[in-house]
A and B are shown apart, each in its own frame.
Chain A
Amino acid sequence: MAVDNIVYLIPALPVLAFVLTLAFGKKLPSGGGYIPILAIAISCIISILAFLQIYKTGTPIEVSAPWFSVLNVGILIDPLASVMLLMVTFVSLLIHIYAIGYMAHDPAKPRYFAETALFTAAMLGVVLSDNILQLFISWELVGLCSYLLIGFWFRKPTAAAAGKKAFLTTRVGDVLFLAGIVILYSNMVEHVLPHITGNETVYLLQFSTIFENIHHIPSGQLTIITLLFFGGAVGKSGQFPLHVWLPDAMEGPTTVSALIHAATMVTAGVYLVARTFPMFIASPGVELAGITIPATLTVVAYIGGFTALFASTMGLVMNDIKRVLAFSTISQLGYMMLALGMGSVIGAAAVGFAMFHLINHAFFKACLFLCAGSVIHSTGTNDLREMGGLMSKMKITGITMLFASLALAGIGIPFLKIAGTPIGTSGFVSKDAIIVEGTYVFAHMTNDWIPFAFGILAALLTAIYTFRLWFMAFTGKPRQERHPHESPATMTGVLSVLAAFALVFGMLTFVPFLDFVGHTYDHHEIEHLAGLGGNHIIDHHELHHIITEETSPIIFLLPVIVGVGGLLLAWVIYNRRWINVASIGNMKNPLFVILAKRYYQHEIFIELISLKFTYGVLALTSEFSDRKIVDGIINGISSFFIGGAEVLKKIQTGVVQNYATATVLGVGLLALILSFRGVI
């Protein structure tokens, strides 16, 4: 087919755009910003073509070529990859269009557009890779671009520091990921290679090879590999405890934040877990209330759920509009991880839920960030306390942001379903699916209600902080004398498109999406793999049965109740001001202090772990042993010989007579010895 031959253009065109923009951007209008837009638009069109082909035929597109030895380079577009492709190219395209307006006054436009084009290309590389090594290379490229773009305004010290922080924090995860790949490779060589017979070429690190041979890999090794992979995902996707870089990543231009938070970078971690899901499900199980569930997926679920709740509490008290959104991203990524973790019970359907939330999140989070960018662009401040009453001046931004906020808070109408599709914002559709069909079913099967509690509480807090933001920015009286104005049409147009997607995308695609992505992994295959670790997963019918028969209506209502409740609470506090915020949110309230200080993460990470432990204990001990012990031995040896030489060199007097005397004495002594021994 024709599409197979041109899929390589999807990542290649943005790379080309990167080169062209970097080289010729200065001479072109808008800093060459139209080159990446054109390139990504074509990539987007090819992605759509590829998607249509897969959707029609049901067979994934696979293009592969040998690289060296047992490795290959290749492209794999299965349902999972194709939805990611559509999302990445589409959202990235919109953000690039928006950036033409947003970055209009920046002198470094060519560099900006070149880097964002490379960023998009790297993310497309992650999505398209058909083997884990290629994925890792693109993954690192994503990390590099994030460093470059977060530190885009590198003359600002905070931006440079934030770039460095993002790079180093995600690097912790990257090292774990690389370690996982190395262990996987050695296992493949040791346990899988002997089983491969015949002359067919087999690429060891190709996903299809790995998945087909999971049963040859010892289960203990599988646990280690998947945990290390998840470590990589934790770094990239900002999960606890490696989430600290994400709020600081706000130092870059807002469009970069939108790109990082919606289309590229942070979703890479979720995608990695979804991509290697068969390995996760095959890891050995832990016993929980009578049924065995895969251990690493449980870890994924708990870390994800905890992150969702943890980040949303901090989102409550931030005053920087972008920081609120950053914590919201961490929290929503936690939801995606939580959803993937629920795969321990519901199998591959979890991948569908997680990806669905990922895509929906991409739309409404991109919209929220670009709205925030529009607000910052026109008011010139990031501080929510200095905004207020913007609705009258910035109608389009306000309304689009309201829609995106409704989506983030997950507002919708429960029980009402048309042709199996719930009616509500896209956030409602996907979050509801995660909470009810994911965490509730998990709780139902295992009696472990903790993930469910994480999900519900985080949903409540999400609604509160989202509408706190919106009410503070757009309603009430202006708190400072500023002259806000509506943004140009390239910006508002993009906002409108994204807001429309945030509202209706979930509703329109719910059933076909889950059906499509759910077919990435064959259900019987997944069941078989789960059986390897002694795990049991429920199938579609069981899931349907639990949802329709054994779930009380309150469970369905709960996500909406907390969503609307949060909205009302925010309305009461931040719009009507019936409750004085200052009475709760001041430095006398210990809870507020903890939140405002962000759980003392800075103190714990920097001062305790970095300064006290790493520097004070590890570094100084190493320094002592290096300087005093290792160097001491070397210096001792050399000073012994230097000192000895100092004494011995006095023999060389330079007076020839002394030498002559020594020679005569020596010869005499020799003669004496020889005569004693009877030689002479």
Chain B
Amino acid sequence: MLPVSYYLIVAAIIFSIGAYGVMTLRSGIMIMMCVELMLNSANINLIAFASHFSQVNGHVFVLFSIALAAAEAAIGFAILMSIFRSKNNVNIDNMNILRW
């Protein structure tokens, strides 16, 4: 059985890729996908620790988290749809009307 640190390292790498994507990408859809990456890296952590400590709590949390992510994605894509309708693209850096 692999030590828990391997899982954690993979999760950290995925989280970093997700965070980098959120900070740099322009397309709204790509950002949504990066957010999903970050969520899933957290899920990996939970599962890793759950199996490490042989406890079921982590699994339950992850199930909740996946359900939450699904709901969040639905809302996010709905927002992106309406942005697309008004602007004909989903570039987030065009969406700067909430500024000075």
Q: How large is the interface on A (under 10, 10 to 19, 20 to 34, 35 or more residues)?
A: 10 to 19
The reply on B1 being an interface residue by CB < 8 A is no
A residues in contact with B95, CB < 8 Å: 654-656
User: Do residues B23 and A664 form an inter-chain contact, with CB atoms below 8 A?
Assistant: yes
User: Do residues A654 and B98 form an inter-chain contact, with CB atoms below 8 A?
Assistant: yes
Given A660-B23, A664-B19, residue A655 in contact with residue B93 (CB < 8 A)? yes
Residue of B with least CB distance to A665? B23
Alpha-carbon separation in the docked complex, A652 to B19 (Å) = 21
The reply on A653 being an interface residue by CB < 8 A is yes
B residues in contact with A655, CB < 8 Å: 92-93, 95-96, 99
| Partner of B100 from A650, A656, A657 at Cβ < 8 Å | A650
| Partner of A654 from B22, B23, B97 at Cβ < 8 Å | B97
Alpha-carbon separation in the docked complex, A655 to B31 (Å) = 13
User: Do residues A653 and B96 form an inter-chain contact, with CB atoms below 8 A?
Assistant: yes
User: Do residues B23 and A661 form an inter-chain contact, with CB atoms below 8 A?
Assistant: yes
User: Do residues A652 and B100 form an inter-chain contact, with CB atoms below 8 A?
Assistant: yes
The reply on A56 being an interface residue by CB < 8 A is no
Residue interface mask A369-384, B partner, CB < 8 A = 1? 0000000000000000
Residue of A with least CB distance to B19? A664
Alpha-carbon separation in the docked complex, A657 to B27 (Å) = 11
| Partner of A660 from B22, B93, B96, B99 at Cβ < 8 Å | B22
The reply on A195 being an interface residue by CB < 8 A is no
| Partner of A657 from B93, B98, B99 at Cβ < 8 Å | B93
The reply on A649 being an interface residue by CB < 8 A is yes
Residue interface mask B11-35, A partner, CB < 8 A = 1? 0000000010011100000010000
B residues in contact with A653, CB < 8 Å: 96, 99
Alpha-carbon separation in the docked complex, A657 to B19 (Å) = 10
* Shortest Cβ gap from A292 to chain B (Å): 82
User: Do residues A657 and B92 form an inter-chain contact, with CB atoms below 8 A?
Assistant: yes
Which residues in chain B, 47-87, are within 8 Å of chain A measured between CB atoms?
Answer: none
Alpha-carbon separation in the docked complex, A228 to B72 (Å) = 86
Residue of A with least CB distance to B93? A655
Alpha-carbon separation in the docked complex, A61 to B53 (Å) = 112
Q: How large is the interface on B (under 10, 10 to 19, 20 to 34, 35 or more residues)?
A: 10 to 19
Which residues in chain A, 285-340, are within 8 Å of chain B measured between CB atoms?
Answer: none
Alpha-carbon separation in the docked complex, A650 to B99 (Å) = 8
A residues in contact with B97, CB < 8 Å: 654
* Shortest Cβ gap from B91 to chain A (Å): 10
A residues in contact with B92, CB < 8 Å: 655-657
Which residues in chain A, 630-680, are within 8 Å of chain B measured between CB atoms?
Answer: 649-650, 652-657, 660-661, 664
Residue of B with least CB distance to A654? B99
User: Do residues A657 and B23 form an inter-chain contact, with CB atoms below 8 A?
Assistant: yes
Interface class of chain A by DSSP: helix
B residues in contact with A654, CB < 8 Å: 95-100
B residues in contact with A656, CB < 8 Å: 92, 95
Residue of A with least CB distance to B98? A654
A residues in contact with B99, CB < 8 Å: 652-655
Residue of B with least CB distance to A649? B100
Alpha-carbon separation in the docked complex, A650 to B22 (Å) = 21
* Shortest Cβ gap from A614 to chain B (Å): 49
Residue of A with least CB distance to B26? A657
Alpha-carbon separation in the docked complex, A653 to B96 (Å) = 7
B residues in contact with A660, CB < 8 Å: 22-23
Residue of A with least CB distance to B25? A657
B residues in contact with A657, CB < 8 Å: 22-24, 31, 92-93
A residues in contact with B98, CB < 8 Å: 654
* Shortest Cβ gap from A513 to chain B (Å): 88
Alpha-carbon separation in the docked complex, A522 to B53 (Å) = 117
* Shortest Cβ gap from A662 to chain B (Å): 10
B residues in contact with A664, CB < 8 Å: 19, 23
Residue of A with least CB distance to B23? A661
Alpha-carbon separation in the docked complex, A653 to B95 (Å) = 10
Residue of A with least CB distance to B24? A657
Task: Name, among A649, A657, A660, the residue most crowded by chain B CB atoms within 10 Å (CB to CB).
Answer: A657
* Shortest Cβ gap from B41 to chain A (Å): 14
Alpha-carbon separation in the docked complex, A653 to B99 (Å) = 5
B residues in contact with A649, CB < 8 Å: 100
Alpha-carbon separation in the docked complex, A649 to B98 (Å) = 12
A residues in contact with B23, CB < 8 Å: 657, 660-661, 664
Alpha-carbon separation in the docked complex, A661 to B31 (Å) = 13
A residues in contact with B24, CB < 8 Å: 657
* Shortest Cβ gap from A190 to chain B (Å): 63
* Shortest Cβ gap from A654 to chain B (Å): 3
A residues in contact with B96, CB < 8 Å: 653-655
Alpha-carbon separation in the docked complex, A660 to B31 (Å) = 12
Alpha-carbon separation in the docked complex, A401 to B99 (Å) = 90
Alpha-carbon separation in the docked complex, A652 to B97 (Å) = 10
B residues in contact with A661, CB < 8 Å: 23
Alpha-carbon separation in the docked complex, A664 to B22 (Å) = 10
Residue of B with least CB distance to A661? B23
B residues in contact with A650, CB < 8 Å: 100
Residue of B with least CB distance to A668? B19
Alpha-carbon separation in the docked complex, A652 to B100 (Å) = 6
* Shortest Cβ gap from B36 to chain A (Å): 15
* Shortest Cβ gap from A647 to chain B (Å): 11
Alpha-carbon separation in the docked complex, A201 to B3 (Å) = 104
Alpha-carbon separation in the docked complex, A656 to B23 (Å) = 9
* Shortest Cβ gap from B37 to chain A (Å): 14
Alpha-carbon separation in the docked complex, A649 to B95 (Å) = 17
* Shortest Cβ gap from B12 to chain A (Å): 13
* Shortest Cβ gap from A59 to chain B (Å): 87
Alpha-carbon separation in the docked complex, A661 to B92 (Å) = 14
* Shortest Cβ gap from A644 to chain B (Å): 13
Alpha-carbon separation in the docked complex, A652 to B98 (Å) = 8
B residues in contact with A652, CB < 8 Å: 99-100
Task: Name, among A649, A653, A655, A660, the residue most crowded by chain B CB atoms within 10 Å (CB to CB).
Answer: A655
Residue of A with least CB distance to B99? A654
* Shortest Cβ gap from A39 to chain B (Å): 75
Alpha-carbon separation in the docked complex, A661 to B24 (Å) = 9
Alpha-carbon separation in the docked complex, A654 to B92 (Å) = 10
A residues in contact with B31, CB < 8 Å: 657
Alpha-carbon separation in the docked complex, A535 to B86 (Å) = 101
* Shortest Cβ gap from A300 to chain B (Å): 73
Alpha-carbon separation in the docked complex, A650 to B100 (Å) = 7
What 14 additional pairs, Cβ within 8 angstroms, besides A657-B23, A657-B31? A652-B99, A653-B96, A654-B95, A654-B96, A654-B98, A654-B99, A655-B92, A655-B93, A656-B95, A657-B22, A657-B24, A657-B92, A660-B22, A664-B23
The 8 closest A-B pairs by CB, nearest first: A654-B99, A654-B96, A649-B100, A654-B98, A661-B23, A655-B96, A655-B93, A652-B99
A-B CB contact pairs (8 Å), 5 listed: A654-B96, A656-B92, A657-B22, A657-B93, A661-B23
- Identify the A interface with B (CB < 8 A): 649-650, 652-657, 660-661, 664
